[in-house]
Structure 1
Amino acid sequence: MNNELKNAENHLSKSAFENLKIWFFDERYKEFHTEIEKLIIDEKWEELEESFFKVLEFGTAGRRGKVGVGPNRINLITISESAQALADYLKLKKEHNLSVAIGWDVRNSSKKLSRRCAEVLAANQIKVFYFDYPRSTPELSFAVRELKASAGIVISASHNPPQDNGIKVYWNDGAQVSSPNDENIMKIAQNIKDIKIGNFEELKQSGKIQILGKEIDEKYINTNTKLSVGKNRNAKIVFSPIHGTGSTNLLQTLKSAGFKDIVLVDEQMNFDGDFSTLPDKKPNPENLSANKMAIKKLRQVCANIALTTDPDADRICVMSLEKNGEVRSFSGNQTAILAADYLFSKIHDKINKYENLYFKDRRFICKSFVTTDALNALAKKYGIRIYDDLMVGFKFIGKKILQKESEGEIFVAGFEESLGGLVGDQTRDKDAATIGLIISELASDLQKNNKTLGEKLDEIYSEIGFFTEKTESVEFSGSDGFNKMQEIMQKVKSGEETFGATKIKDFDNLTEINVATGEKSRFNMLEGGNAVSFEFMKPENRITIRPSGTEPKIKIYAQWLFAKKEDCAKIEEIITDFKRRILDEC
């Protein structure tokens, strides 16, 4: 094998080869030795490079990537290291009765990986509350709060392809772990030497692992149902979980709330980690390909709306059958506008009828800084506070909720442009169930008045202005791609290229530059992050770029405020030109 290793050294980067040697010779990784040896003998250099060139990082709240061998892959070792790191960090706090709730989604490796997390935590004398059946991510967040757990874990890769999986960590408030806790856990994970692993069945018998039953499910659904703000239930709704856990949260919430006319996409109701009905195997409801069966059913049964959810059911796509027979699919920003306007109008009516001004002035919503500024316009219209000083990642919304509730403010809803939203404070992560409930009630009210969601959205735009958004991604792969991503971000931050902007914001150092004068000023965020925003003449016209925290890609977010509806199509040209210039000039 020495000759093969020398050959590997000649084909791999220094970091990849050093990590490969550790995994090949260290007894901790013996279960992978045969697989590594085969990859070397078969000269799978590209796969080896991608698997070993770095340690899989914590992204927006955990680790996510391809399942496979190596430190840059999701496997029993990297998951065990993450669980052990969480255990070690929790024990540093020297609190009594430490506990962790664990949930998992429908992916083929999720049950195995979640059981390993339970085995590690329980072996470290930490009580484990374990869902023995796939559940949605928001229900895990709810369980952490309901059970007063010290932390939570979800095994899921959200809307990624079948070959991916991941681990997401939650703190005791039910929100995704954030700074400094996420950084501290990652530091510990990078230096793990010993991992304690017990036997799942033995730990269950001893009571160190407790299986969660239907009681938590029922409490979660009942809490969601109480968020109802409308009375009508006449909308006809098509629903598909796209083989994921949406059948356990959104569907049950709608049924509990009294919706009767729900048409299921039967072919996609089963749990299936291969997402077999999707030709491209990408269960992302942001993509048309993931929603084709729901759209077909929407037309077949002449329903009012269709709702689809991603595998862990925190994101939701809303579609509407319009009067001209066309199906209108709403972006995350547009769904947020519809949900927010409906919520705000109901709150406004309630305040005017029943509540005093104390409550009126203390309600607030949150949004990430790349989410539509139409929400700012709506918040101003209805007198709702809005906090938009938040980086991408719902953990920042969770952190802001905790901060503002401690100051006596009342959380209404939070939104992200990527189909993510939350109504109410019962969970602290995106929840397709709560957004789906509000949209279904809105659709019912509109149906009673012979209106569609599309018509309602156009009415809102006519009043506040035509906010138009478009998001695109530039994908990279392997160590070369990783380096290219860093190179692009560094060059953009250097200020060498302004792209015709009038102001440039660097969210790492929270500095804004006036391009014309060169004057620098500070701006406030809850936390900074790796992103740059280019403003064109006014704050509502901007383009932002940032590297994804969960995938090897740079995301480009464009927002423009147009005076006329017919001008909105210009956003396509704006973002296409910017994307081309980023690749050509950086």
Structure 2
Amino acid sequence: MTEEDWIAHDPDPVTAAELAALDPGERAARFAKPLTFGTAGLRGPVRGGPDSMNLAIVVRATWAVSRVLTERGLGGSTVVVGRDARHGSVPFAIAAAEVFAAQGFSVITWDHPVPTPVVAFAVRHTGAAAGVQITASHNPRTDNGYKVYFDGGLQIISPTDREIEAAITTAPPADQIPRRPVHPADDTLIDAYVTRAAMVRRGDHGNPRVALTALHGVGGELAMRTLRTAGFGDVHTVASQFAPDPDFPTVAFPNPEEPGAADALLQLADEIGADIAIALDPDADRCAVGIPTPDGWRMLSGDETGWLLGDYILSTLDATDAATSVVANSVVSSTLLGKIAADYGARHVVTLTGFKWLARADAELTGFRLVYAYEEAIGHCVDPAAVRDKDGISAAVLACDLVAHSGAQGISITDALDRLALRHGVHTTAALSRRVADAVEAAAMMDRLRADPPAELAGFPVGATVDGDAVFLTGGDQQTTVRVVVRPSGTEPKVKCYTEVGLAVGADLAKIRERAAAVQQQLLATAQSW
């Protein structure tokens, strides 16, 4: 489709006028490289053109998803459509629902925003053929996205994504694709999600005081409901960040992992004497946890939370159930979960990065069931039977339950981390993101590293291996292991470096942690220079 044809058939007069007013060079750039499916869908800035998120993209992508479903014999089946509260989410979700309806599908959608895990749950719970969530998760405020679920609420993988992309190339002009109005559903499915998510609590161990922020996203109200349903009634929220706001006015980046994003949460936690602090990302599929320590409040890393939740879940299983249970983490996450799983007699699986792979960790293991999966980027799947994706709300319930359970035993979360270190060795992890101009610059950096990898890191000899788009640098000695994984981001213009240091435990745990932290800083400094 030529630039002129695209503009002439753009169903949104605002983006059509925007494209028409661009100088030829910038307009050509918008048409040079169309959006492609990355992490289970499309994601990009909200603006006109085929390289961005706009009404024309959503309409044609939905037509393509409909075509793929129909070719698989699923025409006329049920499809779920949800949205967050970002700029463009309302018209995008309405358009997606109406295109599906016009193609003969039965559509479940809502007239209000819903967290991403609700859509994943609804697809699985209803047996729907597919689900679409309009969201850009924790991306900058300028972005939006189109996330697709098939196969019981799992994020799509190849060849499905390539089939949809191929279908998009054959789609009619956006203004010629039929649409049919859809009557929104009631909240029955949302109520069912709340009931199920509250059930991840293992027992009535007490009622810890909780500080919570939704970071201007769509998870605040539903998280409050779910926590209260689970028996956690002492919940306090960061008022300035509770209501959905697509401009995310109080944070530079709406990601709980970003420096400063959780400052207001930790301040609230300190003021009210909370036992745990919870930060959800804007679409509530990620959960970050903060804890009080003798030196003040701090946020746990995604790996630390992963160790704690994985250990807690496995500790509640008897030996027979543990022997058929699977826990999983991605290749860029810590290796400690594997040691924890072995201690309980459970199966540990390492997958490629992303929950489209983590959710399938037990797919080829007959007689085994996935009970927990996590990735270091604060994504946790704590109830795979209900939501086969990361779910910040159910993870928040389990984290509060862990705090209550530990408190009933007189153990702090810091104590719990120390116990894991004494049992399995000290592990420290840290990540470094290098922002780049575009995918070309990211590829050039990765090519340099593949061609000339370092022979040592932090004074330890290392070897290099390449797996897919990632470079793994691993080595160490009898007492120390060092590991660096470098890969381009699938959703943002970044190259990410993930580091881990492991040390055998000796008499002085504090000194060993200091040593591990020093080695980690050397790894990060080296990675910064690449």
Aligned residue runs from structure 1 range 390-405, under 5 A: 390-404=351-365
AA of the residue aligned to 2:404: S
The 8 Å contact of residues 102 and 178 in structure 2, kept in 1 or not, is answered as yes
Give the C-alpha shift of residue 455 in structure 1: 2.6
Which residue number in structure 2 is paired with residue 7 of structure 1? none
For structure 1, list consecutive stretches of 5 or more residues without a partner in the other structure: 1-17, 509-529
Aligned-pair CA distance for 1:562: 2.5
Which residue of structure 1 aligns with residue 130 of structure 2? 151
Correspondences of 1:399-438 after superposition (within 5 Å): 399-404=360-365, 407-424=366-383, 425-438=385-398
Per-residue displacement from partner, 1:411-459 (whole Å, max 9, x unpaired)?
2111100000011220111001222111101111233344322232122
1:505 aligns with 2:465: yes
- 1:315 alignment partner in structure 2: 286
1:560 aligned residue: 501
Equivalent residue number for residue 452 of structure 2: 496
* Mapped partners of 1:374, 1:394: distance in 2: 19
The structure-2 alpha-carbon separation of the partners of 1:560 and 1:190, relative to structure 1 and needing over 3 Å to count, comes to farther
Whole-Å Cα distance in 2 between the matches of residues 426 and 251 of structure 1?
A: 19
Shift of 1:53: 2.9
- SS of 2:227's partner is helix
Q: Is the 8 A contact 1:19 1:53 kept in 2?
A: no
Q: Does the CA contact (< 8 Å) of 1:320 and 1:452 recur in 2?
A: no
> Is residue 420–residue 432 contact of structure 1 (8 Å, CA) maintained in 2?
yes
1:484 corresponds to: 441
User: Does 2:376 match 1:387?
Assistant: no
Deviation digits for residues 312-364 of structure 1 (CA, Å, limit 9, x no counterpart): 1010110012244x0021010011011112222222xxx16xxxx3x331111
- Report deviation, 1:224: 1.6
Is 2:87 the counterpart of 1:108? yes
- 3-state DSSP class of the match of 1:502? strand
> Amino acid of the residue matched to residue 115 of structure 1?
I
Q: Secondary structure at the match of 1:575?
A: helix
Q: Secondary structure at the residue paired with 2:217? A: coil
Structure 1 residues 534 and 79, CA gap change in structure 2 (3 angstroms) = same
| Alignment counterpart, residue 230 of structure 2, candidates 249, 253, 257 | 257
Distance in 2 (alpha carbons) for counterparts of 1:411 and 1:260? 30
Q: Please list, as runs of the form range in 1=range in 2, the aligned pairs for 1:565-576 lying within 5 A after superposition.
A: 565-570=513-518, 571-576=520-525
Structure 1 residues 249 and 29, CA gap change in structure 2 (3 angstroms): closer
Aligned 8 A contact 2:432 2:498 in 1: yes
> Is the contact between residue 218 and residue 243 of structure 2 (CA under 8 Å) also seen in structure 1?
no
Name the CA shift for 1:293/1:452 in 2 (closer, same or farther; >3 Å): same
TM-aligned CA distance change 1:240 to 1:30, over 3 Å: closer
Taking the TM superposition and a 5 Å limit, the aligned residue runs for 1:454-469 are: 454-469=414-429
Instruction: Give the secondary-structure state (helix, strand or coil) at the position aligned to 1:505.
Output: strand
| Among candidates 50, 54, 63, match of residue 33 of structure 2 | 54
Q: Secondary structure at the match of 2:118?
A: helix
Q: Which residue of 2 aligns with 1:471?
A: 431
Q: What secondary structure is seen at the aligned counterpart in 1 of 2:359?
A: helix
Q: Is the 8 A contact 1:474 1:554 kept in 2?
A: yes
Deviation at 1:373, TM superposition (A): 0.7
Equivalents in 2 of 1:296, 1:118: separation in Å?
41
Distance 1:27-1:400 versus aligned 2 partners, 3 A rule: same
**Amino acid in the other structure paired with 1:412:** V
Secondary structure of 2:254 counterpart: coil
Instruction: Measure, in 2, the Cα distance between the counterparts of 1:210 and 1:543.
Output: 50
Write out per-residue CA displacement over residues 165-224 of structure 1, whole angstroms, 9 at most, x where no aligned residue: 00110003101011211121122223423445445xxx34xxxx3522221011111112
Partner of residue 137 from structure 1, selected from 116, 120, 142: 116
Between the aligned partners of 1:367 and 1:19, the Cα distance in structure 2 is: 44
- The 5-angstrom pairing of residues 115-514 of structure 1 reads 115-195=94-174, 197-199=177-179, 203-204=180-181, 209-278=182-251, 280=252, 282-324=253-295, 326-347=296-317, 351=318, 357=320, 359-388=321-350, 390-404=351-365, 407-424=366-383, 425-477=385-437, 481-493=438-450, 495-500=451-456, 502-508=462-468
Query: Counterparts of 1:306 and 1:221 in 2: how far apart (Å)?
Result: 20
Q: Which residue in 1 is equivalent to 2:507?
A: none
The 10-residue stretch of structure 1 (236-245 or 458-467) with the greater mean CA deviation from structure 2 = 458-467
Secondary structure, aligned partner of 1:568: helix
Distance 2:53 2:500 in 1: 35
Deviation at 1:133, TM superposition (A): 1.1
Secondary structure (helix, strand or coil) at the match of 2:262 reads helix
The structure with the largest alpha-carbon Rg is: 1
1:318 is paired with a residue of what secondary structure?
strand
**What is the root-mean-square deviation in Å for CA atoms of aligned residues?**
2.1
Q: In the alignment, is the contact (CA less than 8 A) between 1:249 and 1:313 conserved in 2?
A: no
Task: Give the letter aligned to residue 32 of structure 2.
Answer: F
The 8 Å contact of residues 233 and 260 in structure 1, kept in 2 or not, is answered as no
2:208–2:403 CA contact under 8 A, matched in 1: yes
Specify whether residues 488 and 303 from structure 1 end up closer, same or farther in structure 2 by C-alpha distance, changes over 3 A only.
Answer: same
1:531 aligns with one of 464, 467, 470? 470
Pick the structure with more helix per residue: 1
- The 3-state SS of whatever aligns with 1:211 is coil
The answer to whether the 8 Å contact 1:221/1:252 transfers is: yes
**TM-score, length basis structure 1:** 0.83
Q: State how many pairs are aligned.
A: 513
Is residue 234–residue 447 contact of structure 1 (8 Å, CA) maintained in 2?
Answer: no
Q: Tell me, what secondary structure is at the counterpart of 1:399?
A: coil
Q: How far off its partner does 1:253 sit?
A: 1.8
Aligned to 2:508: none
Q: What do the CA deviations read for 1:366-405 (whole angstroms, capped 9, x no partner)?
A: 11111111101111111111111x111101012224444x
For residues 2 and 521 of structure 2, the distance between their equivalents in structure 1, rounded to whole angstroms, comes to 43
How far does residue 540 in structure 1 lie from its aligned partner after superposition?
Answer: 5.0
Deviates more, 1:128-137 or 1:534-543: 534-543
1:85 has 2:64 as partner: yes
Structure 2 distance, partners of 1:450, 1:484, is 51
SS in 2 for 1:317: strand
- 8 Å Cα contact 1:152-1:171 kept in structure 2: yes
- Which 10-residue stretch deviates more, 424-433 or 29-38? 29-38
Asked if 1:577 is matched to 2:526, the reply is: yes
Cα deviation per residue 1:65-111 (whole Å; 9 max; x = unaligned)?
A: 11111111111111112111101111111235322101111112111
Tell me the secondary structure at the aligned position of residue 65 of structure 1.
strand
Q: Secondary structure at the match of 1:438?
A: helix
- Larger mean CA deviation between 92-101 and 285-294 belongs to 92-101
Question: 1 CA distance for matches of 2:2 and 2:288?
Answer: 41
What is the alpha-carbon distance in structure 2 between the residues aligned to residue 215 and residue 551 of structure 1? 35
User: Is the alpha carbon distance of 1:29 and 1:487 closer, same or farther for their aligned partners in structure 2, counting shifts above 3 Å?
Assistant: farther
Task: Confirm whether residue 38 of structure 1 aligns to residue 8 of structure 2.
Answer: no
Secondary structure in 2 aligned to 1:288?
coil
Query: CA separation in 1, counterparts of 2:2 and 2:156?
Result: 27
- How far, CA to CA, are the matches of 1:446 and 1:53 in structure 2? 55
Letter of the 2:386 partner, please give it. Q
The answer to whether the Cα contact below 8 Å between 1:141 and 1:174 also exists between their aligned partners in 2 is yes
Scaled by the length of structure 2, the TM-score of the pair is 0.92
2:453 corresponds to which letter in structure 1?
Answer: E
Contact 2:69 2:75 in 1 (8 A): no
Matched residues, percent identical?
Answer: 28
Distance 1:127 1:286 in 2: 38
Q: Distance in 2 between matches of 1:57 and 1:551?
A: 13
